Amino acid sequence: MGKAIALVLLALFAVSGASAAKSACPVLMVSGTGDRDGIAVTFRNLGKLPIRRIEFNCTPPRTQSRQTPRGQCAEQNASFVPRTEFTVSYPYPGGKSAPLVVSLRSVTFSDGHTFKPSKRDPCRVLKITPSRAK
């Protein structure tokens, strides 16, 4: 009897540990590309509800000058259904092509709930370098 209880408890701890390791971020940042005109960000809605609004931070890497403008890339009125991949495009902040770091700022779902990444619930960050013109 004692071994059975120990096995059940071990299984419960294993399941809870596995779910704790999984990020609660409802958006998977799949990829990002840049060309001379702007950037394209591909993401997947991992949530159970459609995304009504999504905002990204589009900022230069920390190694660049603080004078470089920061951009906010957003889709204000959208309908990104669950389990689907989407690609959105934005111009470069300040109009000049330069490397950017793109991170999720916030997501608002169709029920009005808003998710913002935190240290506890981080989301993937993309580093985008513009392709060189040939």
For 10-62, the pLDDT digits (tens) are: 444 444 344 344 569 999 999 999 998 899 999 999 999 999 999 999 999 87
The pLDDT of residue 1: 52
- Please say whether the structural domain 24-128 has been given the CATH code 3.30.420.40: no
Provide the residue ranges of all domains of the chain, joining segments of one domain with +.
Answer: 24-128
The pLDDT of residue 132: 73
DSSP H stretches of helix in 45-112: none
Residue 76 main-chain phi, psi, to 5 deg: -80, -35
Q: What percent of the chain has pLDDT above 70?
A: 75
Residue 18 main-chain phi, psi, to 5 deg: -65, -40
Provide the CB-side half-sphere exposure for 28 (13 A, CA): 10
Average pLDDT over residues 104-110: 97
Q: Quick one: which of 18, 40, 45, 27 has its CA closest to 116? A: 27
